[in-house]
């Protein structure tokens, strides 16, 4: 006889007044699933387990990720915190406002709960974002128009770039970044950015707890419960994890239901275990290579494409 299963617990989403589940559902991977039925089922099962945070981005799978999540959330919009990201990659606020309309339409909603600047990963991105007529002006405008409630930015490259963004003292509500047991000792967002966000009351959103595509599970000698457990034990609002099959969802939910944070000693020993393999970041290719940098961003910055610069 099985006991009624515990829900995924919730925490405050910074000072937004919203309560958010420890585990969030990543939008990129959902958009890679062929069958809408499967996507619907993943979203429904996740929500039944208490997951209420849905990540997305304008450019994920050329818009398909937003479309399929919009479809899956039909009739459930009110129970969800819907986030998407704007993909100007240095271009101006008009591009951003146009993308926002696309996003709202695809997600079948009249407003986003959180709208973030996607992929702040090039060293000059903060300057481009805060330039006159830059995307930062779109954030305020969209808020004013009631189309988005809260705003933030994301990036997976270097904590120093995040700190450059924060140095502008813009009132961001959320900031998203890679947080995992390898990050703890290498170009570390955990050490360099996370404390600053908590000091400022900005909601930290963690991502890439398995390395982006499960690299840490495949080559890093860590188990899913260790990797996801580590990420969820950090002082973050939510850990966003991508799911491309029901099996992965079930695995993640099993870890997240009734989650008890790891002890400081457990986290320390996991970091120590990962440290020798963390030192070049090959389990965090989003930091050390251009592999995870979006095509549009590379084009804006005139970087070589994936074929010319594979790693």
Q: Is 160 in the site for other proteins (CB under 8 A)?
A: yes
The window from 116-124, 129-137, 169-177, 192-200 that contacts other proteins (CB under 8 A) reads: 116-124
Whether 60 is a known active-site residue: answer yes
Closest CA to 233 of 277, 279, 270: 270
**Residues in a beta bridge with 177:** 206
- Residues ≥6 apart with Cβ < 8 Å to 90: 122, 124, 125, 128, 129, 297, 300, 301
The mark string for 214-253 relative to other proteins (x by CB under 8 A, - otherwise) is -----x----------------------------------
Q: Is 192 in the site for other proteins (CB under 8 A)?
A: no
To the nearest whole angstrom, how small is the minimum distance from the Cβ of residue 33 to other proteins? 28
Q: Is 213 in the site for other proteins (CB under 8 A)?
A: no
Site for other proteins in 281-310 (CB under 8 A): 282, 285, 288-290, 301-304, 309-310
Phi, psi at residue 241, to the nearest 5°? -130, 135
| Whole-number Å distance between alpha carbons of 225 and 103 | 33
* Binding residue for other proteins, selected from 107, 277, 286, 292, defined by CB under 8 A: 277
| Whole-number Å distance between alpha carbons of 248 and 233 | 20
| Whole-number Å distance between alpha carbons of 191 and 292 | 22
The pair of three-digit structure tokens given for residue 206, joined into one six-digit string: 């963690």
Using the minimum distance from each CB to other proteins, give the nearer residue, 53 or 122. 122
Site for other proteins in 19-78 (CB under 8 A): none
To the nearest whole angstrom, how small is the minimum distance from the Cβ of residue 160 to other proteins? 7
| Whole-number Å distance between alpha carbons of 142 and 181 | 36
Closest CA to 8 of 308, 268, 256: 256
Selected catalytic residue, list 28, 60, 122, 292: 60
Binding positions for other proteins, rule: CB under 8 A: 122-125, 127, 160, 185-187, 219, 275-280, 282, 285, 288-290, 301-304, 309-311
Catalytic positions, written as ranges: 60
């Amino acid at each position: 006889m099985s006991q009624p299963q515990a829900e995924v617990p919730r925490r405050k989403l910074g000072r937004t007044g919203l309560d958010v589940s420890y585990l969030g559902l990543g939008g990129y991977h959902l958009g890679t699933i062929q069958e809408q039925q499967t996507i619907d089922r993943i979203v429904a099962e996740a929500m039944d387990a208490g997951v209420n945070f849905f990540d997305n981005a304008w450019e994920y799978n050329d818009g398909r990720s937003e479309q399929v999540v919009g479809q899956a959330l039909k009739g459930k919009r009110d129970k969800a915190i819907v986030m998407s990201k704007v993909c100007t990659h240095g271009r101006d606020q008009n591009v951003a406002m146009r993308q926002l309309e696309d996003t709202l339409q695809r997600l079948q909603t009249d407003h986003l709960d959180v709208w973030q600047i996607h992929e702040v990963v090039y060293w000059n991105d903060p300057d481009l974002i805060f330039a006159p007529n830059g995307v930062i002006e779109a954030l305020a405008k969209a808020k004013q128009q009631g189309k988005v409630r809260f705003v933030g930015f994301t990036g997976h490259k270097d904590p120093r770039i995040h700190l450059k963004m924060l140095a502008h003292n813009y009132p961001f509500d959320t900031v998203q970044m890679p947080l995992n047991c390898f990050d703890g000792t290498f170009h570390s967002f955990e050490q360099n950015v996370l404390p600053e966000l908590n000091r400022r009351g900005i909601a930290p959103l963690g991502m890439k707890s398995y390395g982006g595509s499960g690299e840490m599970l495949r080559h890093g000698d860590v188990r899913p419960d260790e990797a996801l457990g580590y990420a969820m034990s950090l002082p973050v609002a939510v850990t966003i994890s991508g799911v491309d099959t029901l099996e992965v969802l079930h695995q993640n939910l099993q870890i997240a239901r009734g989650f008890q944070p790891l002890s400081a000693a457990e986290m320390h020993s996991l970091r120590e275990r990962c440290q020798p393999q963390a030192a070049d970041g090959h389990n965090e290719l989003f930091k050390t290579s251009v592999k995870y940098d979006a095509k549009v961003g590379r084009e804006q910055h005139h970087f070589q494409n994936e074929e010319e610069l594979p790693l």
